[in-house]
C-alpha cells in the first residue's frame, strides 16, 4: 500500500468504531478474506459505500488470490526457498523441503491459513471422552500416483514410521510424549485408531499438515523418496534436480481431479530472498512462496503483484535466566518487557507486517488465545522503578544471539531499551551454528546464556511453544523457568478438548507468564507470499506449505 492509500484509509478509519477498525485490521492482516470482510462488515453495520472505499484504499493486499474465474490449463512457475537438504519425508525440517513434500504428498488434514483443519485423506475424526484415543475415518477411492490404492493400513504404517525413534524422524519432536511407536493401528481399511500416551485435545493438528513430515506413504515404502515422489497428492513429479527444482504434471490417479486447473507446475528453488523477489518482478516466477517484509518492500506497493500476508505464530523469544543474576527477581524481568516499544519494533523491523506479542506463546492468531488479557505496553518509568527497587540498577548482562533475519537489529533495540531502565547489555552475536551449539544444556549458548534471542517458526497450535521452552522439564527451556503451577496449567490445557475450557486455561497461563516473564515475546510476524495479479487460488500457509491444488491463471 502506498502513502496515499494509507492516508485515504486513515481518514476512513477515523469515522469508525473500535470494533469496525478491528475488522479492518483483520482484513489488512490477511486474516479474513475479502468476502468474509464484507460479510462481517455488513453485520457490524458498515455501509456498502464505506466497505467499498476501504477495499479500494487497501489496493492489492488481500488474503487470498481468489476472485475471477480461472481457466483450465497452463503451467505455473513457483519460486520457493531452496530445500536445505535431501527431500526425505522423515528428515525434512525446513520451509523449502516441506513446500516440496506438500505437492506430490497429502496429509490426513490440511491446517489452512486460518488454522482450521480441512479434511483431506481423513474424512472425519473423533476422540473418546478424555481425548486419549482418537479415531479417524479414512477417505476411500484414493490411489497413490503409481496406481496402488491407499488404505488405513498405509496411514498407520506412515505414522508408526515417524513415531519409531530408530528412524530418526523429525516428527518425533512432535510425537515424543504424545504418541509412541506401534500405538497407531488400522482395525479395518477405513479406520485408523491412535492410542495416545496422554490425553491431547489438539491431537488432530499433530497428524495434519502442521506436522509437515507426515505425508501419507504406502506401506511398501522403504526410502528413496527423491526417485519416486510417491504420494496421493495432485501433482506427479516428472523431473527433480537437487538444488534446482521439481517439475510436475497432474497426477492421473488423483481423487479430486476435477478441482485441478493447471496442466503442469514448476517449483524453482531460490536460496535467497532478493533473487526470489527479483524473479517475481522480472516475470520469471508467477508466485513466490515466501519473502521477508524487510527485504520485499518493493512488492508491497506494486500494482501488478498480489501480496498475501498471513498472520502466524512465528516469533522471536528473548529469554532471561530465572536462576541467574540479575534476572532471579521477576521485577527485573518484567522491567525488560516494559522497556520495549513493540509497535515501533514492528514498524522498524518488519514494515509493520506483524502482530504484537504479550510475553506468552499465545499468539493473537490462535483461536484459543484469551484476547481479553491486556497488552503489555511500554512504560520506562515503571521499568526503571522496578529495577531500582530490586537493587539491580547498573547491572551488566550479556545477550547471546545469532546473525540472521532482523535478530541483530532487535538485539540492538533491546539493549537500548534496557539501558533506559538501568541494565547494561553487551551483545554477543555469532553464527547460527555457534549459538545453537549441540542443542543440549551445558553445550549450547542458546540454552545456557543468561539472556538470548531465539527464532521459532510457526506452529498451528501453541502446544510446542508451551512445552519445550517453558515447562520445568522442557528440553529448550533457556530461561530455566521452573514453576509447578505453570506445569499444571499446561497439562490441563493440552488435555482440554472444548474451546471454552482451552480459552479459560489460556487466560490463566497468559496472566501467569505476564507476571513471571521468563521470556519476552515481542511480536508474532506475518508470513508473506506474493504472486502476479493474473494468478488465482493459491493457498499458502504460515507453516510454509503452498497448496496449488486449485491454482490457476485468471481467464
Q: Which of 126, 239, 389, 403 binds another protein (CB under 8 A)?
A: 239
Q: Which is nearer to another protein, 276 or 342 (CB)?
A: 276
Q: Work out how close the CB of 538 gets to another protein at its nearest, in angstroms, rounded to a whole number.
A: 20
Question: Segment 352-391, which members bind another protein (CB under 8 A)?
Answer: none
Separation of first and last alpha carbons in the chain = 26
Task: Give the start-end residues of each E strand in 334-383.
Answer: 354-356
Q: Which is nearer to another protein, 25 or 272 (CB)?
A: 272
**Residue 274 in the binding site for another protein (CB under 8 A):** yes
Q: Which is nearer to another protein, 168 or 252 (CB)?
A: 168
The count of chain residues that interact with another protein, using the rule CB under 8 A, is: 48
Q: Work out how close the CB of 504 gets to another protein at its nearest, in angstroms, rounded to a whole number.
A: 29
Helices (H) and strands (E) in the chain, counts: 20, 25
Q: Which of 129, 241, 258, 484 binds another protein (CB under 8 A)?
A: 241
Q: Which of 172, 181, 324, 492 binds another protein (CB under 8 A)?
A: 172
Question: Segment 385-444, which members bind another protein (CB under 8 A)?
Answer: 432-434, 436-440
Please tell me the distance from the alpha carbon of residue 81 to that of residue 234, in angstroms, as a whole number.
21
* DSSP states along 394-412: T-EEEEEEESSTTHHHHHH
The stretch near another protein (CB under 8 A) out of 37-45, 79-87, 254-262, 338-346 is 79-87
* 251-270 footprint of another protein as x/- string (CB under 8 A): -----------------xxx
Please tell me the distance from the alpha carbon of residue 64 to that of residue 35, in angstroms, as a whole number.
10
Q: Is 552 within 8 Å of 259 (Cβ atoms)?
A: no
Q: Give SS3 for 293.
A: coil
**Residue 304 in the binding site for another protein (CB under 8 A):** no
Residue with grid cell 491412535, as numbered in its chain? 194
Plot region of 131 (φ>0 → left; ψ -120 to 50 → alpha; else → beta): left
Q: Which of 17, 244, 396, 485 binds another protein (CB under 8 A)?
A: 244
Q: Which of 145, 169, 463, 477 binds another protein (CB under 8 A)?
A: 169
* Spatial CB neighbours of 318, under 8 Å, sequence gap ≥ 6: 336, 410, 414, 451, 452, 453, 519, 520, 521, 522
**Residue 476 in the binding site for another protein (CB under 8 A):** yes
**Residue 275 in the binding site for another protein (CB under 8 A):** yes
The total of other beta-carbon atoms located within 10 Å of residue 397's CB is 22
Task: Output phi, psi for 239, to 5 deg.
Answer: -155, 150
**Residue 177 in the binding site for another protein (CB under 8 A):** no
Please tell me the distance from the alpha carbon of residue 131 to that of residue 495, in angstroms, as a whole number.
7
Helical spans, DSSP H, in 59-151: 95-104
Q: Which of 91, 193, 330, 415 binds another protein (CB under 8 A)?
A: 91
Q: Which of 173, 328, 483, 504 binds another protein (CB under 8 A)?
A: 173
Give the residues lining the site for another protein (CB under 8 A): 84-86, 88, 91, 93-94, 165-170, 172-173, 176, 226, 239, 241-244, 268-272, 274-276, 278-279, 281-284, 432-434, 436-440, 446, 468, 475-476
Amino acid at each position: 500500500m502506498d502513502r496515499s492509500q494509507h492516508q485515504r484509509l486513515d481518514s476512513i478509519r477515523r469515522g469508525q468504531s473500535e470494533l469496525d477498525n478491528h475488522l479492518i485490521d483483520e482484513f489488512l492482516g490477511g486474516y479474513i478474506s475479502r468476502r468474509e470482510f464484507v460479510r462481517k462488515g455488513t453485520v457490524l453495520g458498515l455501509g456498502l459505500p464505506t466497505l467499498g472505499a476501504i477495499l479500494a484504499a487497501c489496493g492489492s493486499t488481500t488474503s487470498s488470490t481468489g476472485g475471477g474465474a480461472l481457466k483450465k490449463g497452463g503451467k505455473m512457475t513457483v519460486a520457493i526457498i531452496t530445500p536445505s537438504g535431501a527431500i526425505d519425508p522423515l528428515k525434512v525440517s525446513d520451509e523449502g523441503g516441506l513446500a516440496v513434500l506438500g505437492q506430490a504428498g497429502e496429509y490426513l488434514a490440511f491446517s489452512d491459513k486460518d488454522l482450521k483443519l480441512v479434511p483431506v485423506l481423513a474424512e472425519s475424526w473423533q476422540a473418546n471422552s478424555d481425548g486419549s484415543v482418537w479415531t479417524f475415518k479414512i477417505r476411500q477411492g484414493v490411489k497413490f500416483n503409481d496406481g496402488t490404492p491407499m488404505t488405513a493400513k498405509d496411514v498407520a504404517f506412515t505414522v508408526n514410521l515417524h513415531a519409531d525413534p530408530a528412524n530418526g524422524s523429525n516428527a518425533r519432536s512432535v510425537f515424543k510424549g504424545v504418541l509412541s511407536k506401534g500405538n497407531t493401528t488400522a482395525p479395518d481399511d477405513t479406520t485408523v485408531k491412535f492410542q495416545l500416551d496422554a490425553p491431547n485435545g489438539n491431537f488432530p493438528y499433530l497428524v495434519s499438515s502442521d506436522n509437515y513430515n507426515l505425508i501419507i506413504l504406502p506401506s511398501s515404502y522403504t526410502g528413496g523418496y527423491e526417485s519416486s515422489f510417491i504420494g496421493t497428492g495432485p501433482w506427479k513429479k516428472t523431473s527433480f534436480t537437487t538444488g534446482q527444482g521439481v517439475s510436475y504434471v497432474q497426477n492421473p490417479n488423483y481423487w479430486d481431479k476435477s478441482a485441478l486447473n493447471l496442466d503442469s507446475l514448476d517449483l524453482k528453488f531460490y536460496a535467497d530472498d532478493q533473487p526470489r523477489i527479483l524473479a517475481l518482478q522480472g516475470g520469471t516466477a508467477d508466485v513466490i512462496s515466501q519473502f521477508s517484509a524487510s527485504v520485499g518492500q518493493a512488492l508491497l506497493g506494486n500494482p501488478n503483484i498480489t501480496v498475501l500476508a498471513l498472520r502466524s505464530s512465528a516469533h522471536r523469544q528473548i529469554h532471561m535466566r530465572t536462576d541467574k543474576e540479575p534476572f532471579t527477581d521477576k521485577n527485573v524481568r518484567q522491567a525488560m518487557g516494559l522497556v520495549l516499544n513493540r509497535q515501533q519494533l514492528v514498524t522498524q523491523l518488519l514494515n509493520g507486517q506483524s502482530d504484537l506479542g504479550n510475553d506468552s506463546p499465545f499468539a493473537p492468531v490462535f483461536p484459543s488465545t484469551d484476547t481479553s488479557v491486556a497488552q503489555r505496553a511500554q512504560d520506562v518509568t515503571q521499568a526503571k522503578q522496578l529495577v531500582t527497587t530490586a537493587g539491580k540498577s547498573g547491572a551488566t548482562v550479556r545477550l547471546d544471539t545469532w546473525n540472521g533475519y532482523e535478530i541483530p537489529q532487535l538485539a540492538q533495540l533491546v539493549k537500548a531499551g534496557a539501558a533506559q531502565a538501568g541494565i547494561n547489555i553487551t551483545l554477543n552475536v555469532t553464527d547460527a551454528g555457534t549459538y545453537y551449539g549441540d542443542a543440549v544444556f551445558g553445550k549450547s549458548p542458546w540454552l545456557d546464556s543468561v539472556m538470548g534471542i531465539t527464532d521459532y517458526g510457526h506452529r498451528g497450535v501453541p502446544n510446542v511453544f508451551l512445552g519445550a521452552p517453558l515447562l520445568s522439564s522442557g528440553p529448550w527451556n533457556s530461561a530455566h523457568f521452573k514453576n509447578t503451577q505453570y506445569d499444571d496449567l499446561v497439562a490441563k490445557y493440552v488435555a482440554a478438548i472444548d474451546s471454552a475450557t482451552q480459552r479459560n486455561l489460556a487466560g490463566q497461563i497468559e496472566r501467569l507468564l505476564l507476571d513471571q516473564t521468563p521470556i519476552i515475546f515481542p511480536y508474532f510476524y506475518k508470513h508473506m507470499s506474493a504472486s502476479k495479479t493474473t494468478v488465482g487460488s493459491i493457498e499458502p500457509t504460515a507453516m510454509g506449505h503452498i497448496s496449488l491444488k486449485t491454482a490457476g491463471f485468471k481467464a
